[in-house]
A and B are shown apart, each in its own frame.
Chain A
Amino acid sequence: MNPFSHLSRRDALQRLGFGFGAMAASDLMANVGGSLDSPLAPRQPHFPAKAKRVIHLFMNGGPSQMDSFDPKPTLEKLDGKELPDSIKKTLQATQRNRVGTIWASPFQFSKHGESGLEISELYPHVAKHADKLCVIRSMQSEIANHSPGLLMMNCGHPVLARPSIGSWVLYGLGTESEDLPGYVVLMPSGMPTAQSRNWTSSFLPGVYQGTHIETNAKGGEMIPHLKRRDIGSGTQRNQMELTKFLNQRHLNARPGDERLDSRIHSMELAFRMQSAATDAFDITREPETIREAYGDTPVGRNLLMARRLAERGVRYIQCYHGAGQPWDNHSGLIPRIKGLARDSDQPIAALLQDLDERGMLEDTLVVWGGEMGRTSTIQKTGQNDPEKWGRDHHVDGFTVWMAGGGVKGGMTYGETDDFALSVASNPVHVHDLHATMLHLLGFDHEKLTYRYSGRDFRLTDVHGSVVKDILA
């Protein structure tokens, strides 16, 4: 049933805001006509696009860019020195008072692939896919803290409750999966910082909200009420047929009310979903070789499920590394980041390879990154043992990379300055990233709007421009 049933068709058209200018009116009507039957029915975007779905690998906590994908040889000369005051002044107030000395990365970088993309030794497996990666080294966000950072990265605003990018994408494109939710958030267990606000549909209809699934739970429990245990499937089928008979009789006496028909279909979909969802989340159905490639770890299982969902037409899949903010390495960065990278390196590489081999990488946009980056200076300077050092939050110049789905591979975009503390060229604000992601999915980010509270809202608010140089 459509989310706009209380509105006239004209209102629905206005609210959907698919940009009258960008599409022929007849296309628009056809598309919206479909959506009036189901708010989740697949729809065409504003223009033809390469990416049909997104897998967002969220390294929540904020991975350190100069230890992973943004080599900074300039820091080696400065290692152990104090930051000049002029640079210190540019840091956000929360960081300014506890800046330690400059700390060059303890990890080695080397060139990989034909492109010679530089990646640190933390990612030996991902490095094999260097030619697939488009590394943006000049990301900028607003507030150097986790909750606002996560909300900025997901919802385009650090504070206000705005719809998440997954909700916008689902709203724009619908879903190709007939028997699974269209926007799925995978988490080994628990919640990231800022919780369900990260996948809220806010003022968009609730049907566009992300479905949060804890993948460490056992098969049937990941989706509530997915299975009935006290009766056999034959009995349930029999009961569904009886219900359908009652509903059909009821419907025949009440022609003209589309909702009644939609609900009959919805019950059938739910019945199918019982087995489809069980199947989608059951990674034991994968061949041994595939499971080994991803690794039998929380992240490995998560990403393998992500691929199975992508394959089944789920539109937006977000995989968090873990509950809270695991990449938040204020201390003990060396041992911790080694562990975090080890947890995710092999699974991410396996995902890229697996998608590629299935021909899915070209229409699946993979996005890797956190809500921010980290400082090039030491936190916990008092300690003599480098193993105990950490890095602080930083939003002016951090790294996000993308692969597949219409972005160029084997390239870097943007640069940080010699101190790795500000953007030296080609800044990409989170709004720009969002505009670019929507562009890759076929949307003009300024025209994917929704009317709420007397105003047309969009993911990028009044900001954002598409980073054209990275489009394939």
Chain B
Amino acid sequence: MEKLNSISIVVVVLSFLPTSTLFAAPIGNMSGTEYFESKVRPLLVKHCYECHSEEEEAQKGGLLLDRESGWLEGGDSGKAVVPGQPEASLLVGAVQRLEEDSAMPPKYSLEQEEIEIFVRWVKGGAPGPAEDMGETEFSQLGDQTVIFGKAKDHWSFQPVKKVTPPKADVANWNENPVDQFVFAKLKKAGVKPSPSASQNTLVRRISYSLTGLPPTDPALYELSMEDLIGRLIESPRYGEHLARTWLDVARYADTASTYRADTKTPHYYPYAFTYRDYVIDTFNEDKPFDLFVREQIAADLMGVGKDAPELAALGFLGVSPIRNMSHDFIDDAIDATTRGLLGMTVSCARCHDHKFEPVPTADYYSLYGVFASLERPEPWALEKFPEITGYSPSADTVADYEEKRAFIDKEIVEAGSKKKKGNNRSVKETIEQTDLAELLLFHEGAPVRAMTVSEKKKPLEPTVFIRGEPANRGERVPRRFLKVIDEEQLSFSKENSGRLDLANKILDPKNPLTARVYVNRIWGMLMGDFLVDTPSDFGLQGEAPSHPELLDYLAAEFVENGWSTKHLVRLLISSQTYQQRSSHREDGNVADPENELYWRANRKRLKVEELRDSLLAVSGEIDYTMRGRPGPLWGEEYSRRRSVYGYVNRFNLDPTLRNFDFPSPMQTQGQRTDNIVPPQALFLMNSPFITDQAEKLAASLQFDADTDRPARISAIYQRILNREPVENEIIRIGRFVDIEKNRKVFAWPLVAQALCMSNEFLYVD
């Protein structure tokens, strides 16, 4: 039986073999196949298969030498073998070591007789093996035709379909389309949803979801659900909070990723903050998301004035980690745009066609052409950025700035063309990049500019860089959109870089990705878990949505309602799905331990910004001044403003931020990790920042001698945890206070700090 099978396989394989193999001319006294198997194959096995065979799971340079199609089609550099023409066959040239870069095997030379065998084989028509492997899944890695075939059926490339939500047979799960979709899946799995969380829990949860702050105002507890949501969503704190999620995507920071070695100062971005303010305003004004995207990519091409505040939107490109106009700057722009807005990992196609996604290298270089057509002033070409309106510092502040500026300007003039001793760097440039940049970045009276990019005089007509090497030019490609979404691929404007065309393609009603990707980000932020678990990768390698119909419904609903984020947020927050209890249930845990079906709400840990803002809020120290220059988050002279206004030094990210999972702004970030490491605890135990808040909090409660202990404990609980303490908490805290009293230690700040270190403070039910 076994034998029979193998015979029939041979027959089938043979019948599909290219005729050249079967009827190849003999080489010497052997048939072509015999020659290959006895002479050539052993050499390939010995010298080549390590890097070019399925058996070794390696196809370096995209080349496989274990099958005829492998050498005939060749790899990234072209056809490896041209039958009958040794001089045109890269493989022969490689073993002859004609060029140093492509000599093979890389580390040693073949014997002369071995090289002769290859030459003879190719001359004799390069006959293949008797049993060819043909195409296999492995050989098709990176085969764009195959990948495009798969993409045709891939969920995220299908048009968004809005279906009628299924009716739920439980009354309060039938009012909101979100709930109807969620309920249907729960019902199918036989899992009950959880009941609504208590009013107290919901006020705290919604306050954090919409503002990133604890509900310190007692009036919030008196409002109806609708009024509560309405009041918080219209608070300026809302925009500050939502902006932070977008700033992760935009890899926002106040410096470039590099520094000046001689002065050990970062390359400052003195105007990055105007982009951050623009993002905050966007969410507070509920600017339609499509306009938001268009402005971030092409505000300067939209006919706005030379000093329009909208120009700050271009900070999306301007706050890149890469400070100078270079291949890496362009690569980052492609990455931030495609992963951030489309959930596509296009930047993987820089050196070769994407191995897994429908992104040929040509598409990468089409977008490359768009961003390579930009001018980008060096960050220290300080006056080249357009001054914008919308900021009005006081006359005194401006006067102070001008005084300091005059002093620095004088130093610059005096420096002339002098060079620094030791490193021969220009003194003038050093002053500009350090003292002057610092003044512009941190002084509230300095002129306010947008961190823009602008058009080159003539847009670039891109060519593919083979293997990503700029010196190695391949075919010309027009500036145009991604083939997988835009089959026609009409060229972008010849007049300019084509950024506006690009934005329009991203926002095209036929583009199935943009709204889905954004809606999923907002869902993840509010629900504590994503519908698509890979929020910046909706490609073939990404995760499938847990609730595809719901995702589509939300995407369509979002676009139909004028791309309004507030509409979307309201819809989600008012759902039962959002308002369920977060407590675990045995039956739910058994059926769906990861809570992918949303049978309960997700308990969420405060992000580092939320934690810091909460500490400032409960101590009463918080300063709600909006907009303007970044300030220090901690340290001797720390800012009392919200963390979104904190200084982010990209080249040396603050260790406390890092320890609390603040994402590295070196690239676009779609989600944060959620680590629990000891340095977080050390910060809460020992940092001057927290002890300061604890002391300020205790002082602000203004206990007098008559305030009894339970009243004090109650006041501290209300302030920090927004609830009354229970009996045994009062007793336990009383014991703590007694012990410290004996030590003559003032205990109340320490009690406040203990509550601020507690899981109840750090996790929102």
Chain A residues with a Cβ under 8 A of chain B: 1, 3, 5-9, 11, 39-40, 159, 161, 179, 181, 190-191, 193, 195-197, 200, 202, 205-207, 209, 223-228, 230-232, 234-236, 238-243, 245-247, 249-251, 254-257, 259-260, 262-264, 266-267, 269-271, 273-274, 324, 427, 453-455, 462
Per CB-CB distance, the 6 closest pairs between chain A and chain B, nearest first, are: A256-B584, A454-B541, A270-B681, A1-B676, A270-B678, A225-B686
Q: For the complex, what is the distance from the CA of A273 to the CA of B728, rounded to whole Å?
A: 31
Q: For the complex formed, measure the closest distance between the CB of A156 and the CB atoms of chain B, giving whole angstroms.
A: 16
Q: For the complex, what is the distance from the CA of A250 to the CA of B674, rounded to whole Å?
A: 20
Q: For the complex, what is the distance from the CA of A9 to the CA of B596, rounded to whole Å?
A: 12
Inter-subunit contact A225/B685 (CB<8 Å): yes
Inter-subunit contact A3/B758 (CB<8 Å): no
User: 19 pairs across A/B with beta carbons < 8 Å?
Assistant: A5-B674, A6-B529, A8-B596, A161-B667, A191-B652, A195-B259, A195-B651, A195-B652, A230-B691, A235-B750, A242-B733, A246-B754, A254-B583, A271-B685, A274-B682, A453-B345, A453-B537, A454-B357, A454-B537
Q: For the complex, what is the distance from the CA of A260 to the CA of B762, rounded to whole Å?
A: 10
Q: For the complex, what is the distance from the CA of A207 to the CA of B675, rounded to whole Å?
A: 7
List, in ascending order, chain A residues with CB within 8 A of B658's CB.
206, 209
Q: For the complex, what is the distance from the CA of A205 to the CA of B653, rounded to whole Å?
A: 15
Query: A196 and B653 in contact (CB under 8 A), knowing A206-B673, A243-B758, A254-B603?
Result: yes
List, in ascending order, chain A residues with CB within 8 A of B584's CB.
254-257
List, in ascending order, chain B residues with CB within 8 A of A266's CB.
676-678, 680-681
Inter-subunit contact A1/B686 (CB<8 Å): no
Inter-subunit contact A259/B656 (CB<8 Å): no
> Per-residue CB proximity of B675-695 to A under 8 Å, as 1/0?
111111111011100010000
Query: A250 and B759 in contact (CB under 8 A), knowing A8-B594, A225-B682, A236-B685?
Result: yes
In the complex, how many residue pairs between chain A and chain B have their CB atoms under 8 Å apart?
Answer: 187
List, in ascending order, chain B residues with CB within 8 A of A8's CB.
533, 594, 596
Query: A259 and B605 in contact (CB under 8 A), knowing A234-B743, A251-B759?
Result: yes
Query: A454 and B345 in contact (CB under 8 A), knowing A8-B594, A228-B686?
Result: yes
Query: A249 and B682 in contact (CB under 8 A), knowing A6-B671, A263-B759, A462-B60?
Result: no
Is B542's beta carbon under 8 Å from chain A? Answer: yes
Query: A256 and B589 in contact (CB under 8 A), knowing A228-B686, A239-B754, A273-B678?
Result: yes
Assuming A242-B751, A267-B685, what are 11 further A-B pairs, CB within 8 angstroms? A1-B676, A7-B533, A193-B261, A225-B682, A235-B743, A254-B584, A260-B759, A266-B681, A267-B757, A270-B678, A454-B542
Q: For the complex, what is the distance from the CA of A462 to the CA of B57, rounded to whole Å?
A: 11
Inter-subunit contact B740/A235 (CB<8 Å): yes
Inter-subunit contact A238/B740 (CB<8 Å): yes
List, in ascending order, chain A residues with CB within 8 A of B677's CB.
40, 207, 266
What residue in chain A is nearest B350 (Cβ atoms)? A160
Q: For the complex, what is the distance from the CA of A202 to the CA of B534, rounded to whole Å?
A: 17
List, in ascending order, chain B residues with CB within 8 A of A5's CB.
674
We find that the number of chain B residues with CB closer than 8 angstroms to chain A is: 81
Chain B residues with a Cβ under 8 A of chain A: 58, 60, 107, 257, 259, 261, 264, 328, 339, 345, 348, 355-357, 529-530, 533-534, 536-537, 539-543, 583-584, 589, 593-594, 596, 603, 605, 651-653, 655-656, 658-659, 661, 664, 666-667, 671, 673-683, 685-687, 691, 728-729, 732-733, 736, 739-740, 743, 745, 750-751, 753-755, 757-760, 762-763, 765
List, in ascending order, chain A residues with CB within 8 A of B753's CB.
239
Q: For the complex formed, measure the closest distance between the CB of A470 and the CB atoms of chain B, giving whole angstroms.
A: 16
Q: For the complex formed, measure the closest distance between the CB of B511 and the CB atoms of chain A, giving whole angstroms.
A: 19
Q: For the complex, what is the distance from the CA of A230 to the CA of B264, rounded to whole Å?
A: 33
Q: For the complex, what is the distance from the CA of A306 to the CA of B100, rounded to whole Å?
A: 43
Q: For the complex formed, measure the closest distance between the CB of A70 and the CB atoms of chain B, giving whole angstroms.
A: 19
Most chain A CB within 10 A, of B678, B681, B685, B729, is at: B678
Inter-subunit contact B676/A263 (CB<8 Å): yes
Query: A205 and B664 in contact (CB under 8 A), knowing A236-B685, A271-B685?
Result: no
What residue in chain B is nearest A40 (Cβ atoms)? B677
What residue in chain B is nearest A265 (Cβ atoms)? B676
Inter-subunit contact B533/A6 (CB<8 Å): yes
Q: For the complex formed, measure the closest distance between the CB of A308 and the CB atoms of chain B, giving whole angstroms.
A: 18
Q: For the complex, what is the distance from the CA of A262 to the CA of B674, rounded to whole Å?
A: 12
